[in-house]
Amino acid sequence: MGPYLLGLRLSGRRVLVVGGGRVAQRRVPALLEAGAEVTVVSPSVTPALDDLIAAGRVTWHARPYEVGDCDGAWLVQACTDDRSVNTAVAAEAEAKRVWCVRADDKDASAAWTPATGRVDEIGVAVTAGGDPRRAAGIRDAVVEALRDGTVDARRNRTKPVGVALVGGGPGDPGLITVRGRQLLAQADVVVADRLAPRALLDELAPDVELIDAAKVPYGRALSQETINELLVDRARQGKFVVRLKGGDSFVFGRGGEEMIACAEAGIPVLVVPGLTSAVAVPAAAGVPVTHRGVSQEFHVISVHVAPDDPKSTVDWPGLARSQGTLVLLMAVERLAKVAEALVRDGRSPETPVMVVQDGTLPTQRAVTASLSTVADRVSAAGIRPPAIVIVGDVVRVGQEVEMVRAERLP
């Protein structure tokens, strides 16, 4: 017969663990996470258990098991490598009507410890007939599906409320955070940017309202005021709204404006940071934005206006004097003026530059040049937004890595 599965609420209840080896080391943390008051009986313990004992989280009796140790326990774990000891522990527990898990013999065990996992408030427990490896494999598959949203786990009784500002990462749907994907799977309404990982939108349930908030450069665009109004309106209807953006909502993403609009309307806001393209795209192209002995700093600059535009607040002379890496966003259309300003204010015209289009996506491509040639190279290559511009000697580091790789290939 299969077991009757039950979730034990162990907070404040005594649990006895007999044995201090690797099995006990695996089981004690989960018991502590459930709030149990754990007592370990064993002549010796592993370093990991010793650390928990030193922190006062576990009570340790440094001796062999004795009859009477099961007194007051709600649950017993017999985890020694001595079958006779485990048998004695199980017999005492059985006589006192206390559930006991034997680590050495599933058939003689009154209870089994399942392979467990947790995603937010969802707990997953798998027994698989007492086969721990099989149970763990099934557990991992279910947990992964819950984390990435491929299993519909939207709440019914306690739905999220308000607005979640979710940074979707640089473009590859696999680079959104686990938390961001979980919230996306809970959404009633999704307000998505043009640069959000749009492949994830195909996974939304059919009843989710999808609002396209794309801002196409020099083309169609939904005003920020309209977006703010949409977030507030849908949240006031009792719907859970996810504002899905590319990169990070607070790195040139106007997330601050949307957070303020919701706060002024009394709408609760949850912020989920995203992997900003300013760091992720150079990395995807093999370029570190900092490198020991090359660059100790990097600057992220929005170039939505040219350096000579009166509306620009960027200290271009200061950036030109800096030895740090410059990561330029929204710069492709104004690249000639940027290069001219940097050279004029002190950067060498031979400073290496890399421009990466569609970073992290299958269509990613890159052009490498210098400040004096980059504008012409980018124009000739037909590079278009979205693209990231990297200025600095770290570009050579990336080229060096590629040369080493090429030399080692058969």
Residue 104 · residue 84 · CB < 8 Å: no
- Residue 388 confidence (pLDDT): 96
Q: Is 193 a catalytic residue?
A: yes
| Intra-chain end-to-end CA distance of the chain, in Å | 57
Looking at residue 179, its pLDDT comes to 87
Task: Specify whether 96 is catalytic.
Answer: no
State the pLDDT at residue 12. 95
Rounded to two decimals, the pTM is: 0.67
CA dist list (Å): 336 to 216, 306, 356, 376: 22, 9, 16, 8
d(CA 286, CA 360): 11
Output the pLDDT for position 129. 79
Separation between Cα atoms, residue 99 and residue 97, nearest integer Å:
7
pLDDT under 70 in the chain at which residues? 148-158, 215-220, 409-410
Using an 8 Å Cβ cutoff, are 251 and 195 in contact? no
Q: Which of 215, 233, 345, 393 is catalytic?
A: 215
Q: Tens digits of per-residue pLDDT, 265-291? A: 999 999 999 999 999 999 999 999 999
- pLDDT at residue 215 in the model: 62
Q: Please, how many CA atoms are within 13 Å of residue 1, restricted to the half-sphere of its CB?
A: 5
The catalytically annotated residue of 69, 104, 172, 193 is: 193
